[in-house]
Amino acid sequence: MSSSQTVSKDIGRIIDRYAPIQLGVDLSNFTENEKVAIGKLVLVGRLIDRIYLRQKWKGNESLLNQLLSANPRDENAISFFTLMKGPWDRVNGWVLPYPPNLPEHKPLGGNFYPEDMTKEEFNSWVEKLSPEDKKHAKGFYHVVKRHEDTGELYLNPYSIEYKDLLSEASDILKESAKLVENESLSEFLKSRAEAFLSNDYLDSEVDWLNINKESKIEVTVGPYEVYTDELFSAKSAFEFYVHARDFQSSKILEKFSGSLQDVENHLPIPDEYKNKDLKVTPIVVVDQLYASGDVAVPMTAAYNLPNDEEAVKRGGSKLVIIKNVQEGKYQKTLDPIAQLTIAHDQLQYLSFDAFFTHVLLHEVAHSNGPHYIIGSDPKNPETVRSRLQEYHSAIEEAKADITGLFAAALLLKKGVLTAPSLEQFYVSYLASAFRSIRFGIKEAHGLGQCIQLNYILDEGGFEYDEQTKRFSVNFSKVSIAVSNLTRDILLMQGDGDKARVEQFISKYGKIRDIVEESLKRLENAKIPVDVRPIYKIETENLL
Ligand SMILES: *[C@@H]1O[C@H](CO)[C@@H](O)[C@H](O)[C@H]1NC(C)=O
Ligand SMILES: *[C@@H]1O[C@H](CO)[C@@H](O)[C@H](O)[C@H]1NC(C)=O
Ligand SMILES: *[C@@H]1O[C@H](CO)[C@@H](O)[C@H](O)[C@H]1NC(C)=O
Ligand SMILES: *[C@@H]1O[C@H](CO)[C@@H](O)[C@H](O)[C@H]1NC(C)=O
Ligand SMILES: CC(=O)N[C@H]1CO[C@H](CO)[C@@H](O)[C@@H]1O
Ligand SMILES: [Zn+2]
Which DSSP string do the residues of 236-303 spell out, in sequence order? Answer: -EEEEEEEEE-HHHHHHHHHHHTTHHHHHHHSSS-GGGS-SSPPPPPEEEEEEEEEEES--SSPP-EE
Strands 217-225 and 237-245, sheet pairing: antiparallel
Question: pLDDT tens digits for 165-187?
Answer: 999 999 999 999 999 999 999 99
**CB contact at 8 A, 426 and 433:** no
| H-state helical runs in 391-477 | 392-414, 422-437, 444-458
pLDDT, residue 252, reads 64
Of 2 and 203, more confident: 203
Estimate to the nearest angstrom the gap between the alpha carbon of 325 and the chain centroid.
13
Considering only 48-57, 72-81, 153-162, 472-481, which range has the smallest mean pLDDT?
Answer: 72-81
Centroid of ligand 5 to alpha carbon of 60 (angstroms): 7
Q: Give the model confidence (pLDDT) of 441-470 as tens digits.
A: 888 889 999 999 999 999 999 999 999 999
Closest CA to 245 of 209, 282, 286, 291: 286
The answer on pLDDT for 1 being more than 60 is no
Average pLDDT, the chain: 93
Nearest listed ligand to the Cα of residue 483 = 3
The helix/strand/coil state of 185 is helix
CB within 8 A of 528, min separation 6: which ones? 16, 17, 18, 19, 332, 333, 336
Question: Model-level pTM greater than 0.85?
Answer: no
- Mean pLDDT of the region 57-64: 90
Summarised one tens digit per residue, pLDDT across range 79-108 is 999 999 999 988 777 888 777 788 988 999
Q: Spell out a b/e string for 94-132, using b for 16 or more CB atoms within 10 Å of the CB, else e.
A: bbbbbeeebeeebbebbbbbbeebeeeebeebbeeeeee
Q: How many residues does the chain have?
A: 543
Q: What CA–CA distance (Å, rounded) separates 113 from 146?
A: 8
pLDDT value at position 4? 47
The answer for residues whose C-beta is within 8 angstroms of residue 52's C-beta and 6 or more apart is 85, 228, 237, 238, 239, 292, 293, 294
| Nearby residues of 253 by Cβ (< 8 Å), 6 or more positions away | 283, 285, 321, 360
Q: Compare 266 and 283 and report the one with higher pLDDT.
A: 266
Which has the higher per-residue pLDDT, 380 or 239? 239
Distance (Å, whole) CA 450 – CA 478: 16
Rounded to whole angstroms, how far apart are CA atoms 371 and 310?
Answer: 12
Q: Name the most confidently modeled range: 60-69, 146-155, 314-323, 413-422.
A: 146-155
pLDDT at 169: 98
Q: Sorting pLDDT into bands at 50, 70 and 90, what band is 543?
A: low
Span from the CA of 269 to the centroid of ligand 3 (angstroms)? 13
Number of domains in the chain: 1
Confidence bin at 6 (pLDDT 50/70/90):
low
Which residue, 358, 330, 359, 322, is CA-closest to 245? 322
Confidence of residue 159 (pLDDT cuts 50, 70, 90): very high
pLDDT band, residue 279 (cuts 50/70/90): confident
Query: How many secondary structure helices (H) and strands (E) does the chain include?
Result: 24, 11
28 in contact with ligand 4, CB cutoff 6 A: no
CA dihedral 288, 293, 294, 299 (to 10 degrees): 30
Mean pLDDT of 376-405: 94
Ligand nearest, relative to CA of residue 443:
6
Tens digits of residue pLDDT in 213-265: 899 999 999 999 999 999 999 999 999 999 999 887 776 677 677 888 999 99
Domain range for residue 351? Answer: 317-511
**Is 490:273 a contact under the CB 8 Å cutoff?**
yes
Q: Which pLDDT belongs to residue 542?
A: 58
Backbone angles phi, psi at 223, to 5 degrees: -85, 125
412 found inside a domain:
yes
| Gyration radius (Cα) of the chain, Å | 23
Give the other-Cβ count within 10 Å of 245's Cβ: 20
Residue 98 pLDDT: 76
Identity of the amino acid at 120: E
**Domain-embedded: residue 218:** no
* pLDDT grade for 283, boundaries at 50, 70 and 90: confident
pLDDT at residue 496, as a whole number: 97
Is residue 424 classed as helix, strand or coil in its secondary structure? helix
**pLDDT band at residue 2 under the 50/70/90 scheme:** very low
Looking at residue 146, its amino acid is R
Candidate of 47, 53, 61, 143 to mutate for ligand 5, largest count of ligand atoms within 8 Å of Cβ: 61
The finding on whether 474 has its CB within 6 A of some atom of ligand 4 is: yes
Please state, in angstroms and as integers, the Cα–Cα distance from residue 45 to each residue in 39, 168, 293, 415, 468, following that order.
Answer: 10, 11, 7, 42, 47
Cα–Cα distance, 210 to 394 (Å, whole number): 29
Distance CA 445, CA 453 (A): 12
Q: Is residue 114 part of a domain?
A: no
Ligand 2 proximity of 182 Cβ (cutoff 6 Å): yes
Atom of ligand 5 nearest to the CA of 62: 1
Measured from the alpha carbon of residue 463, the closest ligand is 4
Pairing outcome for strands 318-322 and 283-293: parallel
Spacing, Cα 484 to ligand 3 middle (Å): 6
Could you give the CA distance from residue 21 to residue 536 in angstroms, rounded to a whole number? 10
Distances (CA, A) of 197 to 136, 310, 363, 394, 410: 17, 20, 31, 32, 46
Question: Does residue 325 have a pLDDT over 70?
Answer: yes
Decide if 100 is inside a domain.
Answer: no
Ligand nearest to the CA of 476: 4
Residue 292 lies in a domain: no
Q: What percent of the chain has pLDDT over 90?
A: 76
Quickly state the pLDDT bin for 61 (edges 50, 70, 90). Answer: confident
Name the most confidently modeled range: 93-102, 270-279, 336-345, 437-446: 336-345
Is there an atom of ligand 3 within 6 Å of 480 CB? Answer: yes
Tell me: the pLDDT tens digits for 298-312? Answer: 899 889 899 988 898
Within 13 Å of residue 171, how many CA atoms lie on the same side as its CB?
Answer: 7
Q: What is the pLDDT of residue 3?
A: 42
348 against 308, higher pLDDT: 348
> Region 257-276: what's the mean pLDDT?
93
The CA 324 to ligand 1 mean position distance, Å, reads 17
CA of 206 to the centre of ligand 2 (A): 16
DSSP assignment, residue 171? H
**Residue 533 is assigned to a structural domain of this protein:** no
